[in-house]
Amino acid sequence: MTSLPASIPDSQLGLSQSEVHILRQHQQIALVNQNYAHSTSTRGRGHSRTSASTSRAASAASSGQGRLVLDPGSLALLGQHFERLMGAIQNRVESVRSLLYESSKLRAA
């Protein structure tokens, strides 16, 4: 069975430099959020080796060395981050939509 590489050169992704930069930023945000959530839920119980090694690998690969981590754990973490981000955007859109609706009702009255 062939294993996936821990990281891949960012030049092989077919993304522009700005897109790679954005991907790196979001990968770091996802790691910080995951580490924060993990540290608050496991205080006094230690850290998982898998989580710590994935975080170290992602941090090293995303530190501007021209590589991005694309292992299953990092991709899952990034996917969860983008799901939360999309949820926050949808909530904001609904909030604005609701405010606009209320504002239009007041103007019509």
Widest Cα–Cα separation across the chain: 69
Please tell me the total number of residues recorded for the chain in this structure.
109
Tell me, what's the pLDDT at 51?
A: 52
Tell me, what's the pLDDT at 23?
A: 92
Average pLDDT, the chain: 81
CB atoms within 10 A of CB 74: 23
Tell me, what's the pLDDT at 53?
A: 53
Name which residue leads in pLDDT, 17 or 36.
17
pTM: 0.65
% of the chain at pLDDT higher than 70: 73
